[in-house]
């Protein structure tokens, strides 16, 4: 989500709500996995959107993206220098060597699941492969700190430290977020250290989503008003998981 001023209060979830969110995220992860498996050179990003639409129709779920601030599709597909929010198009064709970042969200029994993954298509450059691996490691290292002993600020610190160790740029204009009956709830979850923040509390559910660039951290939005690209044209990767914080640590809801 876009970085903005905090407005609402944090909503902690009951065990029952977390069970529903587990189901919501299971559907989300299954459909994302189908899109990842289907991704081949020559197909368009519109084809991926079609796969997701068909799956949504088969399941007891609705899209969390379609119509969100007017968003016209059920999935975001961002390729290479595109960071997030790429709108699927028939003329946007996937090629060998591309990084394809797929972000998918849906609503099940009133609760939202949100997850994203970058994949390499065919034969990748070492640079692209390293970026994808390190971005996933950023997310994994952040998730490992999701317990009541740690603070919200430890998440951004972990992501930023790992990315900077590899001389990558950490996107600042988009952040992770609380998630529940709405896709974007408080708190915001930046991927960089932004001052000391409160401890993580049991019942908090957040989407952690590092967006990491090979070059500088700066992004701009294209004329379609959605697609965010790196300012310097360097390639970018994005991983996102929805994570519940419990007394004894994290439960990653969006992995199957």
Interacting residue ranges for ligand MF3, rule: CB under 6 A: 1, 65, 68-69, 71, 76, 85, 103, 105, 114, 207, 209, 240
Residue 55 or 240 having the CB closest to Co ion? 240
Do 205 and 244 touch, CB atoms closer than 8 A? yes
What distance in Å separates the CA atoms of residue 148 and residue 9, rounded to the nearest whole number? Answer: 18
List the single partner that 81 binds among Co ion, ligand MF3, none, CB under 5 to 8 Å by kind: none
Do 151 and 196 touch, CB atoms closer than 8 A? yes
Residue of 103, 63, 69 whose CA lies nearest to 211: 103
Structure tokens that stand for 213 in this block: 């660039």
17 binds Co ion (CB under 5 A): no
What distance in Å separates the CA atoms of residue 41 and residue 144, rounded to the nearest whole number? Answer: 34
103 binds Co ion (CB under 5 A): yes
Question: Binding to Co ion (CB under 5 A): which residues in 168-207?
Answer: 207
Shortest spacing between CB 173 and ligand MF3, in angstroms: 12
Sequence length of the chain is 256
Site map (CB under 5 A) of Co ion, residues 207-236, x = contact: x-----------------------------
Dihedral angle at the C-alpha atoms of 48, 184, 179, 1, nearest 10 degrees?
Answer: 60
> Which residue has 């059920």 as its token pair?
74
Shortest spacing between CB 48 and ligand MF3, in angstroms: 14
> Helix, strand, or coil here: 147?
coil
Residue 182 or 199 having the CB closest to ligand MF3? 182
Shortest spacing between CB 205 and Co ion, in angstroms: 12
Residue 39 or 78 having the CB closest to ligand MF3? 78
DSSP-assigned beta bridge partners for residue 151 = 199
Residue 65 or 108 having the CB closest to ligand MF3? 65
Rounded to 5 degrees, what are φ and ψ at 58? Answer: -80, -15
List the single partner that 85 binds among ligand MF3, Co ion, none, CB under 5 to 8 Å by kind: ligand MF3
Which one among 114, 137, 185, 241 touches Co ion, defined by CB under 5 A? Answer: 114
Rounded to 5 degrees, what are φ and ψ at 77? Answer: -125, 115
49 binds Co ion (CB under 5 A): no
Question: Which residues here bind Co ion, judged by CB under 5 A?
Answer: 103, 114, 116, 207, 240
């Amino acid at each position: 989500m876009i970085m903005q001023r905090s407005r609402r209060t944090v909503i902690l979830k009951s065990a029952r709500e977390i069970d529903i969110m587990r189901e919501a995220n299971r559907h989300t992860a299954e459909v994302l996995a189908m899109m990842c498996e289907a991704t081949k050179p020559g197909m368009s990003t519109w084809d991926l959107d079609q796969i997701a639409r068909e799956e949504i129709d088969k399941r007891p779920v609705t899209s969390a993206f379609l119509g969100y601030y007017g968003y016209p599709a059920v999935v975001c597909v961002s390729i290479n220098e595109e960071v997030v929010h790429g709108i699927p198009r028939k003329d946007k064709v996937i090629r060998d060597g591309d990084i394809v970042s797929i972000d998918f969200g849906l609503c099940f029994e009133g609760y939202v699941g949100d997850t994203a993954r970058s994949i390499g298509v065919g034969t990748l450059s070492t640079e692209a492969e390293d970026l994808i691996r390190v971005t996933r490691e950023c997310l994994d290292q952040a998730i490992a700190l999701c317990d009541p002993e740690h603070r919200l600020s430890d998440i951004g610190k972990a992501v930023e430290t790992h990315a900077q160790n590899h001389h990558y740029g950490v996107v600042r204009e988009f952040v992770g977020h609380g998630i529940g009956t709405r896709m974007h709830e408080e708190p915001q979850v930046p991927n960089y250290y932004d001052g000391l923040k409160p401890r993580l509390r049991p019942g908090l559910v957040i989407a952690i989503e590092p967006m990491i660039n090979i070059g500088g951290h700066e992004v701009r939005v294209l004329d379609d008003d959605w697609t965010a690209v790196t300012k310097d044209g360097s390639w970018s990767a994005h991983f996102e998981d929805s994570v519940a914080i419990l007394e004894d640590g994290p439960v990653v809801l969006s992995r199957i």
